[in-house]
Amino acid sequence: MQYVEMIVKETLRMHPPACFYLRKAGVDTPLVSSDLVVPARATVLISPRTVHMDPKLYPDPHVFDPERFSPENSAKRHPFAFIPFAMGMRACPGRKFAMLSLKAVISKIIWNFRILPDETYEPELLWGLSMATSNGMRIKLLKR
Ligand code: HEM
């Protein structure tokens, strides 16, 4: 089950369903990553995918590699390097339920089926408030 969790997290890293979310600075907020200060009352757009694709945090960011989320490798990164559910007081309250459901459903599927790509299909990503595709999601399921 730990490896399924690593697969789910790597998928959420590369394809976070929430493309962006907004936060308003309550006070002047210096950034730890630069000399910039976010002024009080400024609205900040946070893009989890931009963070998740930073090669300083995730080398070869376009490669799907669940090992990035082994307990040892996760411990080496800042907790805010993985933000599909946002962080802080307005973080997703459903995140634990979402992770549990995803792990349960995916485990059940791979217990019963082999999942193969459909070679004739290339998903066309649509970036809106949440991520989707314009041409569905086609996979092949082979009964074990
Ligand atoms: C993979 C699944 C999910 C992802 C990636 C996700 C992601 C997020 C993100 C990024 C936010 C912050 C949005 C913002 O501040 O604009 C959020 C908020 C929220 N999520 Fe989720 N979510 C997921 C599943 C769920 C589930 C299963 C529930 C409920 C059972 C849920 C309930 C909520 C609620 C109520 C908020 C608003 C919290 C607030 O504004 O204080 N989410 N979610």
- Quick one: pLDDT at residue 79? 94
ipTM of the complex: 0.97
Segment holding 22, helix H or strand E: strand 21-24
The whole-angstrom separation of Cα 108 and Cα 139 is: 16
Q: Please tell me if the CB atom of residue 86 comes closer than 6 angstroms to any atom of ligand 1.
A: yes
Helix axis angle, 95-112 to 2-14, nearest 10°: 110
Q: What angle do CA 30, 33, 36 make, to 5 degrees?
A: 40
19 in a known ligand binding site: no
The closest residue, in CA terms, to atom 19 on ligand 1 is 92
- Quick one: pLDDT at residue 103? 94
- Quick one: pLDDT at residue 39? 97
Q: What angle do CA 89, 129, 107 make, to 5 degrees?
A: 75
What spacing in Å lies between the alpha carbon of 51 and ligand 1's midpoint? 18
Give the residue-averaged pLDDT of 127-140.
Answer: 90
What spacing in Å lies between the alpha carbon of 114 and ligand 1's midpoint? 30
Q: Please tell me if the CB atom of residue 98 comes closer than 6 angstroms to any atom of ligand 1.
A: yes
- Amino acid making up residue 5: E
Tens-digit pLDDT profile for residues 42-52 = 999 999 999 99
- Quick one: pLDDT at residue 65? 98
The whole-angstrom separation of Cα 48 and Cα 25 is: 18
Burial class (CB within 10 angstroms; exposed 0-12, middle 13-18, buried 19+) of 65 = middle
Please report, rounded to a whole number, the percentage of residues in the chain having pLDDT higher than 90: 87
- Quick one: pLDDT at residue 11? 96
pLDDT, averaged across the chain: 94
